[in-house]
Structure 1
Amino acid sequence: MRFLVDAQLPPALARMLTAHGHQAEHVADIGPVDVSDRELWLYALDRGAVLVTKDEDFPAMLALGGDGPAIVWIRVGNTRRQALIAWFEPLIGTVVATIEAGNGLVELR
């Protein structure tokens, strides 16, 4: 599966997804991190990437209907990079299965 990790999440999350056999980029890998939500949305959509974000604007955009990328919405508070990775890593299989089952939004708490 292909993932695009949003700017407010660490690049290490993309690297961990890659280590698990997925294609993953962090927004910093593709250009300036201050890219607009719309540009990031279209980038993910054009490349068939799942957008991994903490930004509630993306689920709201998805709710409006139309074409959009699948979204993994991380709803945990601020945490250290290492703790976030340790929390997210065991959820990868569930995230992938949920998206492959046709769900466009995976909310993780």
Structure 2
Amino acid sequence: MRLLFDANLSYRIVKKLEDVYQYCLHVTKTGLPIPAEDIAIWNWARENKYIIVSNDEDFYHLSSLYGFPPKVVLVRIGNQSTSWPKPCGNT
């Protein structure tokens, strides 16, 4: 599975997930202009067989308009830390 993280998600998440998902990439590493337009990200993901991970609903709308590929994972939670939770009970 190839995951492409949109600019609205931290680039740090790639480092956290690369052991589980070997093909993780942040949009800033694609060679697209910064900031890249959503349609450019969409086309890049389609051509390179990546799934777009974003909290930007514009990708959901592009998916409704154009279908897939690429598939889109819409993250519906607010800003979260990239730190892993610490075990409970240890103070």
TM-score, scaled relative to structure 1: 0.68
Pairs aligned (count):
84
2:88 is aligned to none
Q: Which runs of 5+ in 1 are unaligned?
A: 88-109
* Residue 29, structure 1, aligned to residue 24, structure 2: no
CA RMSD of aligned residues (A): 1.8
Between Structure 1 and Structure 2, the one with more helix by share is: 1
Q: 1:67 to 1:20 in 2, by over 3 A?
A: closer
Structure 2: 5+ residue stretches without partners: 86-91
- Which residue matches 1:104? none
- Residue 70 (structure 2) aligns with: 69
Higher-Rg structure is 2
Equivalence map 1:83-94=2 (5 Å): 86=84
Q: TM-score, normalised by structure 2?
A: 0.79
Query: Percent of aligned positions with the same letter in both sequences?
Result: 31
Partner AA of 1:10 in structure 2:
S
